């Protein structure tokens, strides 16, 4: 499930690409989706500031990553899929939910909420990385997730405060490292798998490998 194209206002592209590579290596067939809604705003990724008087559509922007092969999230049927995975990027907190603005009082896009609840009810695994675990924490009460560490540790974990927000949302936060040496967190009861990814300031290959651990755990939980 994509949330646009670009870390500050959509999907984190490296995370999406890593997920797709690991899914391909695992032999999975993939269909990409995104909600057909306007972005919260558009960020100039050089300046790191909102672009005035500009608007973009989440589905249209997500199609850049999907190479055009994408469908509206409203068309996703849980019965057609064995698992669902959400990359991170601020789009998860801005376009898939209002977490970036409202924190613990956030609302989740109705189609995102439907998908999460339907996959959970069907006992099908849900994969999450970076900031996207906040979606499960909000929608699936008591779900165990990780966004990494709970302290900034000199800037290594710049978004460590998210762990506290997850607890306020009703989720359970588990401290985890980002690398493959420390496998992704698996909530076996709820079949929710998460990994910190870019919540950590570290080398790209560590993030890539950590995402691989998440994807492999999701595929294993499908039983296929």
CB atoms inside a 10 Å sphere around CB 130: 31
Q: Give a yes or no: residue 4 inside a domain.
A: no
Residue 8 falls inside a structural domain: no
Q: How many CB atoms sit inside 10 A of residue 202's CB?
A: 18
- Decide if pLDDT at 83 tops 90: yes
Evaluate whether residue 6 is within a structural domain. no
* Residue 134, domain CATH: 3.40.50.880
The predicted model gives 170-192 an average pLDDT of 92
Residue 31 resides in a domain: yes
Place of tokens 């762990």: 163
Q: pLDDT-based confidence at 33, cuts 50/70/90?
A: very high
Please tell me the distance from the alpha carbon of residue 127 to that of residue 105, in angstroms, as a whole number.
Answer: 23
Percent of the chain with pLDDT over 70: 100
Print the domain residue range for 149: 13-222
Partners of residue 72 on adjacent β-strands: 34
Within a domain: 99: yes
What are φ and ψ of residue 129, in 5° steps?
-140, 160
- List residues with catalytic annotation: 130
- Quickly state the pLDDT bin for 92 (edges 50, 70, 90): very high
pLDDT at 181 over 80: no
Mean pLDDT of the chain: 97
Note the pLDDT tens digit of each residue in 117-168.
999 999 999 999 999 999 999 999 999 999 999 999 999 999 999 999 999 9
Label the pairing between strands 192-195 and 49-50. unpaired
Q: Report how many domains make up the chain.
A: 1
Query: Does 1 map to a domain?
Result: no
In a domain, 5, yes or no: no
Strand extents, DSSP E, the chain = 32-34, 43-44, 49-50, 70-72, 84-86, 126-129, 144-148, 172-175, 185-187, 192-195
Output DSSP code: residue 51.
Answer: P
């Amino acid at each position: 499930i994509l949330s646009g194209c670009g870390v500050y206002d959509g999907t984190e592209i490296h995370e999406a690409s890593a997920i797709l590579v690991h899914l391909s290596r695992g032999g999975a067939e993939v269909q990409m989706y995104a909600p057909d809604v306007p972005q919260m705003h558009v960020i100039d990724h050089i300046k790191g500031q909102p672009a005035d008087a500009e608007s973009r559509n989440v589905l249209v922007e997500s199609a850049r990553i999907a190479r055009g092969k994408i469908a509206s999230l409203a068309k996703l049927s849980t019965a057609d899929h064995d698992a669902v995975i959400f990359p991170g990027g601020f789009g998860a907190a801005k376009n898939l939910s209002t977490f970036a603005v409202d924190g613990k009082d956030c609302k989740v896009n109705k189609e995102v909420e439907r998908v999460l609840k339907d996959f959970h009810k069907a006992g099908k695994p849900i994969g999450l990385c970076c900031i996207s675990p906040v979606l499960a924490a909000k929608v699936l009460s008591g779900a165990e997730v990780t966004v990494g560490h709970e302290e900034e540790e000199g800037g290594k974990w710049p978004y460590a405060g998210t762990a506290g927000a997850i607890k306020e949302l009703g989720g359970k936060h588990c401290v985890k490292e980002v690398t493959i040496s420390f496998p992704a967190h698996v909530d076996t009861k709820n079949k929710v798998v998460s990994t910190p990814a870019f919540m950590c300031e570290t080398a790209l290959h560590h993030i890539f490998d950590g995402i691989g651990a998440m994807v492999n755990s999701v595929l294993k939980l499908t039983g296929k």
